[in-house]
Amino acid sequence: MTDPLSIAFARLPGIDALRDRAAAIDVAATRVPVNSHIHLPPNFSAFDSVAQATDLAAAQAVGVLGVSNYYDYSIYGPFTEQVTGQSIFPMYGLEIIVMIDDLRDSGVKVNDPGNPGKTYVCGKGITKFVNMSDRAAALLQQIRDADRGRMATMIEKLGAVCNDRGFDTGLNEQGVVDMIVNRHGSLRETVYIQERHIAQAFQEAVFDRADSAERPAIVAAILGQDAKDADDHVGIQGEIRSHLMKAGKPAFAEESFVTLPEATELILELGGIPSYPTLADGTSPVCAFEDPPDKLLAHLRNYDFHAVEYIPIRNTAPVLTDYVTAMRTAGLIVTAGTEHNTLDLIGIEPTCVGGAPIPEAVKEIFWEGACVVAAHQYLGYIGEPGFVDGNGVPNRSHATADERIDAFARFGAAVIEAYRNP
């Protein structure tokens, strides 16, 4: 495919003009609503299509929108074409699941409340996902192969459970892929099945073949207990996952992960900034790795993270403020998104739990972080040094972390403003 960045950045002036803009810019005054992390189909997503996501973003006046898909980035081309016509600045990212063995062995939960050592990692501002290096391609294929094998095993096991409990779904791996392709119009080769896809496919098979009168008994037999609401398709998907697919359940398959160093290497090979997604009070109690903020900071320094991300819809405003302020004071860049990785079609601009507004001071920090990522993305595309280099070392052209963040935020604000108002 054509490099999406060449489409996105074709409307920008040269770097000298951008530097002139940056020298005079007021970063706070340029702020627009921003979402740095959504998932687009064929990832499991609230959106049926790219156009639905970007149209909603435009209707809600979101000016910067970031995608962080798992394991295939082909959708970034259509995404760029859509947002370019809507003057929404595109940010490109990715998400990877890793295992930190020593934390698993010591029982420490990181940012997955159910599994010690299991860790979600993001890459922000990637630029080399079209013609990627041989090493990046090899790492990505390693991840894809392990994930595909596990998903196929889970589908087979879940099908056997349903058969044993009196309901033959007829589903196999290709049937689940067919569901995704039919829903989104995705190319088959871009589809990587996720647990939520499997649960959805089995729920739909039951609902398609059992009428409302017989459905409660069939669902109860499959789950091994009565459903909370046998007519709630999203609820049944969640119950299939929790009662049948999680660790210790009959359709569970062991996960095979890359290591954190391998995930970090992939992100850097793709030109991005490794970023730690923070759960905070998105679970109770807060995961030991993250509690309290000072402890989290010590861990992040140990693992060489210079960026963090939040999904505020999980967090209360006071806890979010405490964590975000601590991270930014320590010299990390901070971004925020919504994921939209369930079928719930919430608003595009992030809010706190229950729809409570994000405090203005925190919004300023999220905007600053998005500007830094925009600067890194543009500079990486034109071959200039970004916020971190290919080894993950922060740009040393400024004496302090605050000066570095300020300089990149100013330049990124100029990039976004020039893109949105060419």
CA separation for the pair 140, 215 (Å, rounded): 41
Task: Read off the pLDDT of each residue in 11-31 and give the average, rounded to a whole number.
Answer: 97
Q: Tell me the pLDDT tens digit for each residue of 64-87.
A: 999 999 999 999 999 999 999 999
Is 154 within 8 Å of 195 (Cβ atoms)?
yes
Q: Where are the beta strands (DSSP E) in 172-317?
A: 273-278, 307-310
Is 127 within 8 Å of 5 (Cβ atoms)?
yes
Q: Tell me the pLDDT tens digit for each residue of 215-235.
A: 999 999 999 999 999 899 999
92 closest CA partner among 102, 78, 106, 105: 78
List the chain domain ranges.
4-129+270-420, 140-245
Q: How confident is residue 206, by pLDDT bands cut at 50, 70 and 90?
A: very high
Q: Tell me the pLDDT tens digit for each residue of 99-130.
A: 999 999 999 999 999 899 999 999 999 999 99
Q: Tell me the pLDDT tens digit for each residue of 148-191.
A: 999 999 999 999 999 999 999 999 999 999 999 999 999 999 99
Q: What is the SS3 assignment for 259? A: coil
Task: Read off the pLDDT of each residue in 406-421 and give the average, rounded to a whole number.
Answer: 97
Is 110 within 8 Å of 117 (Cβ atoms)?
yes
The pLDDT of residue 154 is: 97
The pLDDT of residue 399 is: 87
| Average pLDDT over the chain, rounded to an integer | 96
- Bridge partners of 120? 97
Q: Tell me the pLDDT tens digit for each residue of 354-389.
A: 999 999 999 999 999 999 999 999 999 999 999 999
**Residues of the chain with pLDDT > 70: what percent?**
100
Sign of CA dihedral 396, 402, 406, 409: positive
The pLDDT of residue 247 is: 86
Is 18 within 8 Å of 415 (Cβ atoms)?
yes
Q: Tell me the pLDDT tens digit for each residue of 25-62.
A: 999 999 999 999 999 999 999 999 999 999 999 999 99
Q: How confident is residue 283, by pLDDT bands cut at 50, 70 and 90?
A: very high
The pLDDT of residue 133 is: 97
Q: How confident is residue 2, by pLDDT bands cut at 50, 70 and 90?
A: confident
Pair of tokens at residue 316: 């209360």
The pLDDT of residue 228 is: 94
Task: Read off the pLDDT of each residue in 88-104 and give the average, rounded to a whole number.
Answer: 97
CATH number of 4-129+270-420: 3.20.20.140
CA separation for the pair 367, 417 (Å, rounded): 13
pLDDT surpassing 90 at residue 212: no
**Residues of the chain with pLDDT > 90: what percent?**
96
pLDDT surpassing 80 at residue 1: no
